[in-house]
Amino acid sequence: MGLVIALNKGRILKECLPLLAACEIEPSEDPHASRKLIFDSRSGGHQLIVTRSADVPTYVEHGVADIGITGKDTIEEYGGAMGFYELLDLGIGKCRMMTAGPQGQPEPKGVLRVATKFVNIARAYYQRQARQVEIIKLSGAMEIAPLLGLADTIVDIVDTGNTLRANGLEARENICNISTRVIVNRASMKTKFSEVQALVASLNDVVES
Ligand code: PRP
């Protein structure tokens, strides 16, 4: 039985295609050169679904995909899903989820205005800190929110820190470390156990070698 594997566009797709190829799963055509979003594999009867990151856990939870490959940020933001297991850390796409604010400016007292696209992660983090916040949802370019006076702080992904520096911000607290993970639909774990195990084991071998 073939597996349906969902992975997100962009960096994860680029970094994961060689890993999947090393496990003998290769799309029949180059996803970067095609507008198609579903690809058959050259062998093994697998399928690859290329989607937006936030939708990878949705496809896996609903069983449309057996396996998903996406960032820990996406999985955490998706929240307490019961429909899948996180089985493997691929050790790529490493970065940090952090709070950040204007350089040299202490955080204001009172209710903190936090701009982010990771509203669930931010809410849970500040709840753990027992800090009262107003969460302002943005879709991207959070770094400009403090510059424009929309927020005091942002919660965002930091890799090199260049984007923060370029916008006069500094990283403050580390919320969690992020990397690319493999998730598996709960039902597929039973119905396609040997295929899932084989792929997870080969990915693990590739990552460790
Ligand atoms: C992420 C993040 C920051 C940037 C951080 O955005 O939102 O803007 O990378 O990287 P740096 O610390 O190396 O500067 P991404 O480029 O993934 O695009 P996005 O805005 O669509 O999330």
Q: Which atom of ligand 1 is nearest to the CA of 159?
A: 12
Q: Looking at the predicted structure, is the pLDDT value of residue 37 above 80?
A: yes
Q: Looking at the predicted structure, is the pLDDT value of residue 135 above 70?
A: yes
Give pLDDT tens digits for 54-66: 999 999 999 999 9
In the chain the domains, ranked by start, together with CATH numbers, are: 4-93+179-208 (3.40.190.10), 95-176 (3.40.190.10)
Would strands 95-102 and 153-158 be described as parallel, antiparallel, or unpaired? Answer: antiparallel
Q: Which atom of ligand 1 is nearest to the CA of 10?
A: 17
Q: Looking at the predicted structure, is the pLDDT value of residue 151 above 90?
A: yes
**Residue-averaged pLDDT of the chain:** 95
Q: How far is the CA of 142 from the centre of ligand 1 (A)?
A: 9
Query: Looking at residue 34, what is its pLDDT?
Result: 87
Query: Looking at residue 80, what is its pLDDT?
Result: 66
Mutate to test the pocket of ligand 1, among 14, 77, 159, 175 (most ligand atoms within 8 A of CB): 159
Q: Alpha-carbon distance 205 to 35, whole Å?
A: 31
Q: Alpha-carbon distance 101 to 93, whole Å?
A: 24
Give pLDDT tens digits for 95-134: 999 999 999 999 999 999 999 999 999 999 999 999 999 9
Instruction: Label residue 193 left, alpha or beta by phi (over 0 means left) and psi (-120 to 50 means alpha).
Output: alpha
Q: How far is the CA of 43 from the centre of ligand 1 (A)?
A: 35
Report percent pLDDT > 70 for the chain.
99
Q: How far is the CA of 122 from the centre of ligand 1 (A)?
A: 17
Q: Alpha-carbon distance 92 to 79, whole Å?
A: 22
> Please, which pLDDT band fits residue 81 given cuts at 50, 70 and 90?
low
Instruction: Return the exposure string of 71-84: e unless at least 16 CB atoms fall within 10 Å of the residue's CB, then b.
Output: bbbbbbbbeeeeeb
SS3 138: coil
Q: How far is the CA of 158 from the centre of ligand 1 (A)?
A: 7
Average pLDDT over residues 201-205: 97
Q: Alpha-carbon distance 96 to 178, whole Å?
A: 5
Q: Which atom of ligand 1 is nearest to the CA of 157?
A: 2
Name all residues whose Cβ lies below 6 A of ligand 1.
140, 156-163
